[in-house]
Amino acid sequence: MNRKLLNKLCCPFDKSDLNVEIIQETEDQQIIEGILTCPNCQRYFPIIYGIPIMTPDEYREKALELPKLQKWGLEMAPNQESFQLQEPSGHDKLDI
């Protein structure tokens, strides 16, 4: 996805502006892999193969997302009904 599209994205649950951590990006600012986080509800939304995964919780599969999170050095928070991360990672965050 193009980095410019990030400005148009907001949390599907509460419409908050999202933060993004870019993990892999091409030279022309196409984001291949990254993670969007909502500062309000703390949900995360992965960007995988250039596609932001922003479907409702009930249509997401934690088992499918876990390997990606682990590869990125992130962990899902324990005892969570919703999709939240364990703790902020050390990556720089960009406000979008």
**Where does this chain bind Zn ion (CB under 5 A)?**
11, 13-14, 16, 38, 40-41
Q: Which candidate, 15, 68, 17, 11, places its Cα nearest to that of 43? A: 11
**Cα 53 from Cα 43, distance rounded (Å):** 12
Tell me how far, at minimum, the Cβ of 19 lies from Zn ion, in Å: 11
**Cα 96 from Cα 84, distance rounded (Å):** 19
Tell me how far, at minimum, the Cβ of 27 lies from Zn ion, in Å: 31
Kindly state the greatest CA–CA separation across the chain: 39
Closest to Zn ion by CB, 28 or 81: 81
- Residue in the structure block whose two tokens are 């599969």: 61
Tell me how far, at minimum, the Cβ of 53 lies from Zn ion, in Å: 14
Closest to Zn ion by CB, 72 or 83: 83
Closest to Zn ion by CB, 56 or 67: 56
